[in-house]
Chains A and B, each alone.
Chain A
Amino acid sequence: MAKLISDEVIDYVGILAKLELSEEEKEEAKKDMGRMLDYIDMLNELDTSGVEPMSHVFAINNVFREDVVTNGDDKDNMLRNAPERKDDAYKVPKTVD
């Protein structure tokens, strides 16, 4: 029994994921995600009450350092990859009127 993913859910996820799906892709995504979530629901067989969520296997500590600049000015190299640039900045479509 495939989990039913509504159009609203797919549209919402599309917004979060910043993806624009065609109608065909949406239908496909609904099916895929439904099947995957069905499968993932297998985890509910496990009793995890009292188990702490483990995001890292080892204890991760903050790595502190003095706030000193160590890298040089790499502006030109960085900007070389920009799809569009204007002078020393990345160029994007107008965002505020």
Chain B
Amino acid sequence: MGLLDLTAVELGRKIKAGDVTAVEAAKASLEQMRKYEDIIHAYVTIEEDRTLQQAENVQKQIEEGTLIGPLAGVPVAIKDNLCTQGMLTTCSSRILYNFVPSYTAEAVINLEKAGAVILGKTNMDEFAMGSTTELSAYGITRNPWNTDHVPGGSSGGSCAAVAAGECFYALGSDTGGSIRQPSSFCGVTGLKPTYGTVSRYGLVAYGSSLDQIGPVAKDVTDCATILEIIASYDKKDSTSISRADCDFTSALTDDVKGMRIGIPRDYMGEGLDAEVKDAVLQAAKVFKEKGAVVEEFDLSLIEYAIPAYYVIASAEASSNLSRFDGVKYGFRAKDYDGLHHMYKKSRSQGFGPEVKRRIMLGSFVLSSGYYDAYYLKALRTKALIKKAFDKAFETYDVILGPVAPSTAPKLGESLRDPLKMYLGDIYTISVNLAGLPGMTVPCGKDSKGLPIGLQLIGDCFKEKNIIRAGYAFEQTRTYEGPDMKMTRRESR
């Protein structure tokens, strides 16, 4: 087994033991990036010198004994909507083509304090709006399992980088499924924490009431370990929550005896690919064999989550993205007639079509005359969805289901019809509306050889339940990454 096959925690252990240095680990990742970035394109910004400098500093501190955490020296990739001081942060948008933040996102600071070595910034759908990573202003990312297919999105770069061995773990963000869905398509593990668990300070806002930062990695142990590091109460984020139960790794036990697991009947019906359904049911069987109580139930309301989400997320986006006006940072159009025209022209040339679509929709649903009928209606629907989950969690510890209706679609397929692309978020979106934690764990492959993911949803603040379930399930399989030599050959 090569260095790149190690999980983040395994590598951290080796670095601690002195078997590998942080510099060697960083070099191995950079070498893998050099080999495959021309076909995968998981990153939008790579700064080798910066990475190696940081690796040397971290290695020194490890040797001095000042850095002792489990991930000290382990190289990480950061989604490009997380601010990194002195390092380009574009949100994969033209409007931020030259933006160099003067501060670093709190979650990234937490990682750096724990000895993380940053490899670069990963590609995404512009401002995290999209499900395929084809909506980046800087080119598409390809799925390492099959380069004719999308990696999912919007954290497609982060998930493809982990799958391709171009980093040991990554940070993503999840507003409607943007960590869980690409994790499923790329065959990796990704966790969206309870809203408020990870500070959003320094995360470029899309839908503020839904956005959460979370880890992407090879297994559940990594995700729990990373989450333990990035979770923190932060006064700079007014929605940050002070939690006393952030010892997520304590839930890494292979024991689901008596755990009550519910499968929503509404998640398994029409529209779900037969192979995905089989894989999920197969997983349910594994949980049963391990002593969990698994049964089906009616969650209800799931078809209303998508329209409610697009109203709320677009409304918040239209407000959040008003800050991009060509004055303080980013792109400014040339040749304009006065201040307002400068704003309009800069925004029109700086934003891509999907971002404009959502800003328009958001502006509309917030406009007087439509506010009650659309925006407030969506917020009322959100309350009902939350209630439906509250009721489910009176009976179940964990909700089990698919992540997405299918495996990764072919490149170009999803973009033809935006509404159809939105429908692909049906199993992930309600989790954000209700603020719940959700995790993707790989559970198989379809007949085309593309990964299938399993979604585990927990009640608010009950990450430990889904970590325990995910860990127990994972013990029945071994992690499998794509054969990168095949990836190279097929893409020729």
Contact = CB atoms under 8 A, between A and B. Distances in A.
Contacts of A29: 356-357, 360
B475 interface: no
A26 B188 CA distance: 40
B453 interface: no
Given A29-B360, A93-B336, A57 B419 contact: no
A58 B197 CA distance: 12
A78 interface: yes
Interface residues of B, number: 68
B474 to A, nearest CB: 29
Interface string A34-52: 0111011011111010011
B363 interface: yes
B382 interface: yes
A40 B343 CA distance: 30
A53 B311 CA distance: 13
Nearest to A60: B239
B286 to A, nearest CB: 31
Contacts, number: 159
Given A16-B367, A43-B381, A52-B383, A32 B357 contact: yes
Interface in A5-24: 9, 12-14, 16-21
Main secondary structure of the interface of B (DSSP, over half): helix
B363 A46 contact: no
B383 A51 contact: yes
Given A36-B419, A58-B195, A65-B235, A19 B360 contact: yes
A32 B417 CA distance: 10
A33 B435 CA distance: 27
Interface residues of A, number: 50
A92 to B, nearest CB: 6
A56 interface: yes
B69 interface: no
B51 interface: no
B327 A46 contact: no
A54 interface: yes
Contacts of A43: 304, 307-308, 311, 377-378, 381
Nearest to A28: B353
Given A53-B383, A57-B434, A83-B330, A19 B344 contact: yes
Interface stretch (B161-169, B275-283, B290-298, B318-326): B318-326
B4 interface: no
A13 B351 CA distance: 16
Contacts of B460: 57-58
Contact of A82 (B303, B327, B359): B327
B386 A18 contact: no
Interface in A66-97: 74, 77-78, 80-84, 90, 92-95
A24 B190 CA distance: 40
Contacts of B185: none
Given A13-B367, A17-B356, A60-B238, 20 more contacts: A17-B362, A18-B347, A19-B356, A20-B341, A20-B347, A33-B364, A37-B364, A40-B378, A43-B307, A48-B381, A48-B383, A56-B239, A57-B195, A57-B209, A57-B435, A80-B100, A81-B100, A81-B329, A82-B328, A83-B331
30 contacts: A12-B367, A13-B360, A16-B318, A18-B347, A19-B348, A29-B356, A33-B364, A36-B419, A37-B364, A40-B310, A40-B378, A42-B303, A42-B304, A43-B377, A43-B381, A46-B301, A46-B380, A46-B381, A48-B380, A48-B383, A51-B380, A51-B383, A56-B209, A58-B460, A78-B328, A82-B329, A83-B327, A83-B331, A92-B339, A95-B338
Interface of B: 98-100, 102, 195-196, 209, 235, 238-239, 241, 301, 303-304, 306-308, 310-311, 318, 322, 325-332, 336, 338-345, 347-348, 351, 356-357, 359-367, 374, 376-384, 386, 418-419, 434-435, 460
